[in-house]
Structure 1
């Protein structure tokens, strides 16, 4: 295949690039399922042991953007897979959506997640005409809460004791960001 010129590519910034998940990405999904603390924070539960067939099925099922859950692989600009992100719970009628993200253990704390979320927010607000990003974070998931605040989300509330894991009930911390808030923060009215 010819070399691709990414200079004007929407799905990247100076550090990362989003691309469609491909069937061969199954291994990254599979390996991440062995990180129980991270998966508990993401899924609010302990998952059953991972299987190769589930990982392959996941990568295959989401490789063509044919569902209401748009799944991407996050790469650094050297082409290394650093995690995954998805746009989900898209409600076109009401203009709402959520984002799910997992950064591979070796790449956490380097800003890749924030950058990937920024790309999806820009897409959702300016290309899909969505108006409100909603997300929740399991009580104790300080890294995700900090990242959401860092991209401009406001803590909107707490649903008390709604997730049971690790022998106790946990709160769900609700965050939100409107398109107007996003524009004000990042574009200062220039859009």
Structure 2
């Protein structure tokens, strides 16, 4: 295949690129399922042991952008897979959406998540005409809460003791960001 010129590509910034998930991404999905603390924060539960079949099925199910959950692989500009992100819970009528993200353990703390969320926010707000980003983090997930605040989200509330895992009930910390708030932040 010819070399791709990414200089005018919407789905990247100075450090990362979002791309469609590909069949070979099943292995990263499988390996990430062994990071129980991160998966517990993401899924609010302990998942059953991972299988090759589940990982391959997951990748196949979301590889063509045909569902209400748009899945992407996050890669650095060297082409290395550093995580995954998705646009989900899209409600066209009310203009709301959410984003799910997981950065691979070895790549956390490098700003990749914040960069990837900003790319999806621009897409959701300026291409899809969506108006409100709603998300939540599990109580104790300070890294994700900080990342949401970094992109401009404000804490809108707390749903008390709604998730049971690790022998206790946890709060759900609610965050939100409107398109107007995002635009104002870009102009600063």
TM-score (norm. length: structure 2): 0.99
- In structure 2, what is the equivalent of residue 64 of structure 1? 64
Q: Distance in 2 between matches of 1:114 and 1:88?
A: 17
- In structure 2, what is the equivalent of residue 127 of structure 1? 127
Q: Distance in 1 between matches of 2:5 and 2:176?
A: 35
- In structure 1, what is the equivalent of residue 24 of structure 2? 24
- In structure 2, what is the equivalent of residue 93 of structure 1? 93
Structure 1 residue 187 displacement after superposition: 2.8
Q: How does 1:1-191 map to 2 (within 5 A)?
A: 1-187=1-187
Q: Secondary structure at the match of 2:173?
A: strand
1:37-79 superposed Cα distances (whole Å, 9 cap, x missing partner): 0000000000000010000001111110000000000000000
Structure 2 gap segments, 5+ residues each: none
Q: Distance in 2 between matches of 1:107 and 1:55?
A: 21
Q: Distance in 1 between matches of 2:61 and 2:169?
A: 33
Please provide the CA RMSD for this pair. Answer: 0.5
1:68-116 superposed Cα distances (whole Å, 9 cap, x missing partner): 0000000000000000000000000000000000000000000000000
Q: Secondary structure at the match of 1:175?
A: strand
Q: Secondary structure at the match of 1:56?
A: helix
Q: Work out the number of aligned pairs and report it.
A: 188
Structure 1 stretches of at least 4 aligned residues deviating more than 2 Å after TM superposition: none
TM-score (norm. length: structure 1): 0.98
Q: Distance in 2 between matches of 1:107 and 1:178?
A: 29
